[in-house]
Structure 1
Amino acid sequence: MAIVDRCLKKTFPEDHHQRCAYAAFGVRELMRASGAAPEVMGGDFVAFIVGRDNCRAGMSGFAYGEGQCSHFWVECDGLIIDPGPSYLPLRSSYPTARMPAVIWSLAEPLPTYLRYRPKLRFQDDAAFSAENSIQARADAFLSVCRERSAAQRGHLAFPGWIMTGRASVIAAARRDDPWAVSALRFDKMTDEASLPF
């Protein structure tokens, strides 16, 4: 995810936070190269956000049109793999606390502060887009990811922390991470029936 994040910011400096499909296909590409069998998923997504001043909070997701997926992520070996939540603060209408990326086990129920609703599973041979110009741009992005991966020496850390389950959120809250502290409070106060899905 760290390599894809760097390539996304370099390729789309103005709006990398709106390119979750590119991020998902990039993660899939690099995971395949390492011998894994990842799948790109499309569907709906919302996560808890909190203002830096701790005065405003709510659920936020990515905008979408009728009949379209609002978000894309990767699933592999029973894990949701998604840098997308870390980009949500860039879309907020008010200053928002930094958020983590996600590598969450599907064996652990999703909490109230992180919701995924899959609608579409991309076939292994599925193209990024039926439109030639968009497919060409996606191919160029995937090439940049492969080149960066091949050139990478040593470990490249993702900018920020990665939420790997409830225990990781508790650990982040103990480090006084503002988002984690508020997410756990939100989880205690929120009834699942009140969530969008």
Structure 2
Amino acid sequence: MRIGRVKVEDLYATIDWCLRKDFPLDFDSRCLYTAYAIHSVLKNEGIPSIIVGGDALAFTVSVDGSQASVEGFAGAKQGEPSHYWVETSNLLLDPNVSYLPERSRIKRVPMPMVAWERKQPLSQSLQYREQIRHDENVEFRFTEDIAARMDSFVKICIKRFKSKAGKKRLSGFIISSPESIKQHASNGNKWALSALRFQKMQSVPTI
């Protein structure tokens, strides 16, 4: 899958590697860093995108298949978005969904990174509710220390993405449409198989 010249798998592999290197203890809770970095890499490649803030929920299931739930990023105080993702003209980009099992009390099956085709209806196993859509040329105002760390992180991501030496190997999997979930399920992916069963329920939890 590509956005212009950018291969999504390479972009996500880059962001994932940089997150785990810079934030080894809490890489799973750095969605604004992720969104800002993706937006910056795409901008550097001449590809327009925007950062969106809001709530996001995704279907999760335990390794033994006995417990399933909808978990995610919602309910932030004072009207601030709970989560951030990026949108291009045709894709919703959010690799951070794959990190939801990191802090779960129950061992969960690996979850997908998201590069959803916006022309496709969202699956019930993947829910987004936007609160704010930032301008394409948005400039966030951070405290001096956060601004410095954000700037450093973005530069590392851009450098690694452009590097020919750094290997870009994505360890997880990406979903892009209802059909892609079915394809992963046909290949035996445990999350996708359970997600298809979840979607057949008459009533499912929603944001």
SS of the aligned residue for 2:79 comes to coil
Residue 115 of structure 1 is matched in structure 2 by 127
Pairwise mapping of residues 121-160 of structure 1 onto structure 2 (< 5 A)?
A: 121-153=133-165, 156-160=168-172
**How many residues are aligned here?**
195
Q: Is residue 128–residue 138 contact of structure 1 (8 Å, CA) maintained in 2?
A: no
CA RMSD of aligned residues (A): 1.6
Q: Is the 8 A contact 1:83 1:101 kept in 2?
A: yes
Partner of 1:46: 57
Q: Structure 1 CA distance, aligned partners of 2:71 and 2:36?
A: 23
Partner of 2:81: 69
The residue that corresponds to 1:57 in the other structure is: 68
Q: How does 1:89-108 map to 2 (within 5 A)?
A: 89-108=101-120
Q: Is 1:83 aligned with 2:95?
A: yes
> 2:14 maps to which residue?
3
- Displacement, 1:123? 2.2
- Change beyond 3 A, Cα 1:190–1:95: farther
* Per-residue deviation, 1:75: 0.1
Partner of 2:29: 18
Amino acid at match of 1:50: V
Instruction: Choose the corresponding residue for 2:192, options 159, 180, 183.
Output: 180
Please give the alpha-carbon distance, in whole angstroms, between the structure 1 residues aligned to 2:100 and 2:124: 16
Q: Which moved more, 1:142-151 or 1:16-25?
A: 142-151
Given residue 119 of structure 1, which amino acid in structure 2 is its aligned partner? Q
CA distance in 1, matches of 2:124, 2:197: 11
Give the equivalent residue in structure 2 for 1:29: 40
Instruction: Provide the C-alpha distance between the structure 2 equivalents of 1:111 and 1:45, rounded to a whole number of angstroms.
Output: 12
**Secondary structure at the counterpart of residue 189 of structure 1:** coil
Structure 1 residues 8 and 37, CA, compared in 2 at 3 Å: closer, same or farther? same
The percent of aligned pairs where both chains have the same amino acid is 36
Q: Give unmatched runs, 5+ long, in structure 2.
A: 1-11
After TM superposition, the structure 1 stretch with the greater mean CA deviation from structure 2, 100-109 or 145-154, is 145-154
Q: So what's the TM-score if we normalise by structure 2?
A: 0.88
Amino acid at match of 1:4: I
Q: What residue number does 1:163 align with?
A: 175
Change (3 A) 1:190 1:70: farther
1:81, distance to aligned residue in structure 2 (A): 0.7
Matched, 1:196 2:206: yes
Task: Measure, in 2, the Cα distance between the counterparts of 1:19 and 1:129.
Answer: 17
Q: Is this contact kept in 1: 2:48–2:136, CA < 8 A?
A: no
> Aligned-pair distance for 1:190?
4.1
